[in-house]
Amino acid sequence: MSEFLIGLQFLTRIFVVKQSVWTEKSFGESVKYFPAVGAVLGMICAFIVGAVNFFELPLLTGAVGFASLIILTGGIHCDGLMDSADGLFSGREREKILAIMKDSRAGAFGVTGMILVAALEVSTLAELARLSTCWLCAAIFSAPIIARLMMVVTIGGFPYARSSGMGKAFADFTTRRTIIFAAGETFLLLLPLNFLDEKFFLCAALASVVALVVAWRFATFATKKIGGVTGDIYGAVTTLTEMFALIIFLLTAAAT
């Protein structure tokens, strides 16, 4: 339970029990509970967008849904996306890329990438709100779970590029068993969708496959550039796969 609370505190701005002293082992082992953290985010966001969509203003619902994910996570994953974009697309050598990614200032690639993601997510959520509140809630519940499973896959499937760093503890304590545990956890968390409507669960499964492809391709690209992945890459993978999961839900909802 303590590992879950550590993961919840690190990946979100939700504090159930504030913990200021973490061992490297407990910090690293919190990785297996990342999909459960995603479920907490998903439930809160689903409630929020469901309530806002009562007013039948799709664009507002989309904007509030996107803002909710940002606020609840403190923008930690968006920061990773922006830093990753600035570094990986800078055209520099490995050490310079890592230095750029560590720089707290946002560059042109990072800002442009974040604007594109924001536009796509807001418009996707708005279209889902227009089509069906049920599809909207199923999508925004599922996407954070799937995205955080992909973070686990990235942590366990690729070497860590730096000799030290906050993300290194994640990498050091993440094994194949961790990934299998997180995958099973994700299945159980998404399973209730099957009882609401089988199409929701099947769509979540399809979104998971697409997200896996996106995560693996992006992490492979980063590994070729810098010899591995970093905490910023973890955040970028989470942001991108969350967006793709939402898009898959929209395409499926539009087709049914």
pTM higher than 0.75, yes or no? yes
Rounded to an integer, what distance in angstroms lies between the CA atom of residue 246 and that of residue 113? 17
Residue closest to 82 by CA, chosen among 232, 225, 215: 232
pLDDT of residue 102: 87
pLDDT of residue 22: 67
Q: What is the pLDDT of residues 80-96, one digit of tens each?
A: 999 999 999 988 899 99
Confidence bin at 28 (pLDDT 50/70/90): confident
The structure tokens listed for 86 are 């600035």
pLDDT of residue 18: 66
Candidate from 23-32, 177-186, 188-197 with smallest mean pLDDT: 23-32
Rounded to an integer, what distance in angstroms lies between the CA atom of residue 113 and that of residue 115? 5
CA angle 238, 243, 247 (to 5 degrees): 145
What percentage of the chain carries pLDDT values higher than 90? 76
Confidence bin at 184 (pLDDT 50/70/90): very high
User: What number is the average pLDDT over the span 223-252?
Assistant: 96
The structure tokens listed for 237 are 């993978």
Q: What is the pLDDT of residues 232-243, one digit of tens each?
A: 999 999 999 999
